[in-house]
A and B are shown apart, each in its own frame.
Chain A
Amino acid sequence: MRLYGKFFMMHLKSIMEYKTSFFLSCIGQFLVSFNVFLGMYFMFQRFNNVSGFTYEEVLLCFGITLMEFSLAESVARGFDTFDSMVKQGDFDRVLVRPRNEILQVLGSRIEFSRIGRILQAVVMFSYGFAVSSVRWTLGKVLTVLFMLMGGTIVFCGIFLLYASLCFFTIEGLEFVNIFTDGAREYGKYPVCIYGKRVLLFCTFVIPYGLIQYYPLLYLLDRGKPYYCLLPAAASLFFFPCLFFWKLGVRHYTSCGS
């Protein structure tokens, strides 16, 4: 943890060399996700519900998903550029240092401009809370915390999975973005609106449903009580990802020079 703090400071020092660029990308990040919100807002101007979810409910869902994603992204973004790390051979350097590889990869890239997105997530999250008609109890507040933790872990898992794939091939990995950035975009609505198949996929393969749809039903008093515990089950998703990563490191073949 101390080492991560040290990496954090190094990135801060580096970024201070390029101030303007930093502020511009912060604003950009903020606006991108604000855009998504606008799209949603205007849609609900015309239709007052989507598959039985009202504007307020969808907003809560969006706020939580965006928050989960932003939290995961701010820690795990190092994985997102991992393909270039493999291509350029910088991963060699990671391996000749006596520290955990994942920690070093995470530390290799910390994007402060993501603060724009996090800010946006916080705004959406609080707005979603403020307008929601949920009757809050201690259990429900805990469920939200659960969702945030579980969701962050699931998204980190996907980032890790993406990175692990880089060990095997470094071409055509764009499709993994469907599961990261794509999930953020689609995740603004409860996943059930995309149909039964998608819901099944999001329950048993990549557990988006467990961190978003089911606990949301619980919050809205429409689900079964055990739904509030599903985010914990979702975090188990991280283990196969970790296993895949270890497999990848063993398979690593470095590159020229």
Chain B
Amino acid sequence: MITAQHISKTYKVSKRDAGFSSAFKALFRKEYEYIHALNDVSFTILDGEMVGYIGPNGAGKSSTIKILSGILTPDAGTCRINGLIPWKNRIEHVKNIGVVFGQRTQLWWDVPVLDSFELLKEIYRINTRTYRQNLEQLCHMLNLSELLKTPVRQLSLGQRMRCELAASLLHDPAILFLDEPTIGLDAVSKLAVRDFILKLNKEKHTTVILTTHDMQDIEALTSRIILIGKGKILLDGSIHDIKKGQESTEEALAAFYRSHDI
């Protein structure tokens, strides 16, 4: 179970005008601006739930994921995930989670996928039997057997994303964080990824928290959405709460963003 209470996070960013002279000025005197990425955010997510975490760019989605996965320490607030505080019990906590960053890869560029998997086996100290079992199962579900021997640099984005998913699930995590898992994928790959996530949730009862800008992801995968804007939670419920009449989810969402001026 994930409980987050009153989480706040502020970043200090330096700002300056464009151009050489202001760049030169910034050498000596920097001006800072405080950005409230998260402002009193609270929610609870039960085991086995699938939650879509959505909001416009810069709303604080990634910050939340980073706090939940133990990368960042919030300025205020508490968070417990299966009894552990992510940023304090980092090592214990991350054993039980898988994280996929859609825009980055955790696979090694120049070596076959299987080699990266073997390294993960070592990193997570997975015993050989569990590893074989999981690998076989994931290969079957994601249709990877052809890809395992190919160097990552030769994979297409869709193929790579499937490998990426497998890589983050080899150690049987109870919670999976997906940060824009379908970004840049073609229709076939998107469907494959969605199918897989649904199946995973059903068969292994994995808690899935996903951020995305693709409304079809949301419709296909999650019954619950948490909508965040300017660091605040604006809605915790179903996508149908904001949909009126015949408009598409995309339109409804855009209208919602506009009405909240975010």
By the criterion CB–CB under 8 Å, are A10 and B71 in contact?
no
Could you mark each residue 95-122 of chain B with 1 if its beta carbon is under 8 Å from any beta carbon of chain A, else 0? 1010101011010111100011011001
> Which residues of A sit under 8 angstroms from B11, Cβ to Cβ?
253
A93 to B91, CA, bound (A): 13
Picked from A10, A96, A250, the residue with its CB within 8 Å of the CB of B99 is A96
Give min CB distance, A99 to chain B, whole Å.
Answer: 6
By the criterion CB–CB under 8 Å, are A98 and B124 in contact?
yes
By the criterion CB–CB under 8 Å, are A14 and B124 in contact?
no
Picked from B71, B109, B116, the residue with its CB within 8 Å of the CB of A254 is B71
Q: How many pairs of residues, A versus B, come closer than 8 Å at their CB atoms?
A: 72
Check: A48 CB closer than 8 A to any chain B CB. no
By the criterion CB–CB under 8 Å, are B70 and A257 in contact?
no
**Chain A, residue nearest B109 (CB):** A14
Give min CB distance, B60 to chain A, whole Å.
Answer: 12
A14 to B151, CA, bound (A): 10
* Interface residues contributed by chain B, number (CB under 8 Å): 33
By the criterion CB–CB under 8 Å, are B91 and A99 in contact?
yes
Main secondary structure of the interface of B (DSSP, over half): mixed
Could you mark each residue 1-19 of chain A with 1 if its beta carbon is under 8 Å from any beta carbon of chain B, else 0? 0110011001001100110
By the criterion CB–CB under 8 Å, are B123 and A99 in contact?
yes
A256 to B103, CA, bound (A): 11
A237 to B249, CA, bound (A): 60
Picked from A13, A253, A254, the residue with its CB within 8 Å of the CB of B111 is A13
Check: B92 CB closer than 8 A to any chain A CB. yes
**Chain B, residue nearest A17 (CB):** B110
By the criterion CB–CB under 8 Å, are A96 and B70 in contact?
yes
Check: B73 CB closer than 8 A to any chain A CB. yes
* Interface residues contributed by chain A, number (CB under 8 Å): 26
Check: A90 CB closer than 8 A to any chain B CB. yes
Give min CB distance, A87 to chain B, whole Å.
Answer: 12
By the criterion CB–CB under 8 Å, are B111 and A14 in contact?
yes
Check: B144 CB closer than 8 A to any chain A CB. no
Interface centre among A89, A252, A253 (most CB of B within 10 A): A253
Check: A92 CB closer than 8 A to any chain B CB. yes
Could you mark each residue 185-227 of chain A with 1 if its beta carbon is under 8 Å from any beta carbon of chain B, else 0? 0000000000000000000000000000000000000000000
Contact A254 B106, CB 8 Å, known A6-B122, A98-B91, A98-B92 = no
A93 to B106, CA, bound (A): 7
> Which residues of A sit under 8 angstroms from B122, Cβ to Cβ?
2-3, 6
A138 to B55, CA, bound (A): 70
Residues of chain A from 1 to 47 with CB closer than 8 A to chain B in the complex: 2-3, 6-7, 10, 13-14, 17-18
